[in-house]
Structure 1
Amino acid sequence: MEKPWKCGDCGKGFISPSQLEIHWRSHTGERPFTCSVCGKGFAQLIVLQRHQRVHTGERPFTCSACGKGFTQLSNLWRHQQFHTGERPFTCSVCGKGFTQLSNLWRHQQFHTGERPFTCSVCGKGFTQLPGLLKHKVTHTQERPFKCSDCGRDFKSSRELLVHQRIHTEERPFSCYHCTKTFKRSSHLLEHQRTHTGEKPFSCPQCGKGFSSSSNLQKHQRVHTGERPFTCAVCGKGFTQSSQLQTHQRVHTREKPFTCTVCGKGFTQSSHLQTHQRVHQSCSHAEQKRTFVPLNLH
C-alpha cells in the first residue's frame, strides 16, 4: 500500500495526512487532548477517551464466559485467553508460548542478548524503551514537576502522577483474575504472573525463569558475584538493598520490630517471629500446669 505522506523528521510514510499529524506529535511532544478530571494530556482523542474510563469506572467490553468488564477491547481479548488457555505467540528458540506479542519480544531478547535502546550519555543498553527513559533522568538533577499536596519534586510528569496516587489512594489498575488493584500498571503486570505462572525473564547462565526483571537482576548477582549495595560505615557489600538496610541496624542499633507481649525489640521481622514462639510455648506449658483433672473416684 502506498504511503505518500512522509514525515520530514524521520522519513516514515503514512496513508493519510491525519495519521502523519498524529505521528508528528511523537516528535514535538504535543498533547492537545487533556483530561478534564486530572489534567493529563494525550496525543490522540481515542487515548483520552480510554483514559477517562479510569475516572468514570465504565467497562464497556464484557467477557461472555464470566461476565467481567474491561475498559479496553485489547484487555478483554487478553483475558479471554485465560479461559481458552491459548498462547498464540511462541518463541522459535525454546518453544515457550506467550499470551502477548510484547512478552514474546521481551523474552527473545534474553536469548539474543539484544539491548536496542542505548543511553546517549553513558552508552548503557536497555531491552525496553521505558527502561532507557527511566535511566536517562539519572544524568540530570532537574526536578521540574512539583506535587501540590506535599511539595515533593519529580523528574517527570509520570513520576509525579504515580506519586499523587499516594495522596488520592487511587488504584486504577485492576487484576481481572482476583480484582486486586494497583497504583502502577507494571505492578499489575507482575502480579498477573502469579495467576498465569508466566516467567518471561530467563537467566542466560542457568536458564532459570523469573516473573520480573528485577528478580532476574538479583539472581544474576549469584553468577557475577556483584554486590552493588555497600555499607558506608564498614564497607561490606550486599546483593540487595534490603540486605544492606538490615545490616545497617548493626551499626545504628535500631530495632524496629517489637514484641507486643514483652516489648523486646529486634532488627529483623524473622527474629521477632522466632521470639514470639517462646511466648506461645510458655502459654501452652502454663495451660498444662493449670489443668486439674476431675477426681472421679
Structure 2
Amino acid sequence: MKRLVALLLFFFSFSFAKPNVIATYPWIGDLVREVGKDRVNLYVIAKGSEDPHFVVPKPSHIARMRNADLLIMQGASLEIGFLPPLLQQSNNPKIQPGSEGLLDLSQFVKIIEKPEGVSRAMGDIHPEGNPHYQLDPHNIPILARAITDKLCQIDEKNCTYYKGNLENFLTRWDTKLKGWDRDFEKLKGIKVIEYHKLYDYLIRRYGMVLVGTLEPLPGIPPTAKHVEELLTNSKDVKFILQDVYHERRTAQYVAQKLNAKLVVLPHDVGAVPEARDIFSLFGEIVRRLNQ
C-alpha cells in the first residue's frame, strides 16, 4: 500500500510539474509571465539596465539552465557573447540548438539592416541584421503568439490556459497600441541621432528620420573626429536618443551643440524604474518623447 501511494504521488507530482522556462532578457520574461502566469517557473538571465550585448555569464545561470525545459532567446546574435558558454556548460540536451526546448524569437519577425557581408572593419555588426526588434510595439503580438505556441508544445495539458491568457493580453495590447500609434504619429518626420543602432525599429515604424549615430560603427566608442563630422552634417535635429548603459557625456555635448533635446529611453523592462513591464516600457518611451 505504501508503495502504491508513493507511486501515485510521484505520478501526480510529475503530471502537475510546472515547466522551467529561461528567458535571456526581461522583456521576454514579461511576455512569458503574461501567458504562463503561475503555471510556469520563470528565470531571467539579464537585467534590464545591462548592455544586452555584454551580459556576464554566471554559475547561477548555469545551475538554472541545467533544469530548464525551455530557453527563449532574442537571437540574431545578440546573445552571442554569453549564451553559448552557458548552453555548453549546462549539459542540458532539452535546450541545445535544434532542440524542441530552444525558441529563437528572431525567427518570427522581419529583421532589418541585414549586411551583405561582415568584416571587422564594420564594427560589432550582427550578421543576421539589427537584433533590437522588440522596440517595434507592432512586433510584440507576433512574439507573444510564438511564446504561447511553444508553451503549448512543451506543456500541452495547459494549452487552453495559455491561449486564454494570450487572448487577454492581445486585447489589452491592441487598446494600448492604438493610443501609442496616435502619440508616435506626432513624431513623424522629426530628425534624431542615436548613440547605438538600438532604436531603429521604433524610428522606422513611426517615420522618424535617423541622421546618424554617436558611434562611428556599431560597438565602437565615439571619436572626436566622428562627432565633429556628425555635427557638421546635422541640421534641425530635435532629439538625441540615449540608452541607459552607455556614457552620456558625448550625447550631452552633441545635444548642446545642435540645440537638440537629450532623451534617455529605456530599451527593456527594468531599464528605468518606470518600465516595470512590457506595457509601461512603451508607455514610458512615448511619455519621454512627447513631454
TM-score range normalised by the length of the shorter chain: under 0.3
Greater relative CO (CA pairs within 8 A, separation 6+): 2
Q: Which TM-score applies when normalising by structure 2?
A: 0.21
Q: Which TM-score applies when normalising by structure 1?
A: 0.21
Rg larger in structure? 1
Structure showing the higher helix proportion among its residues = 2
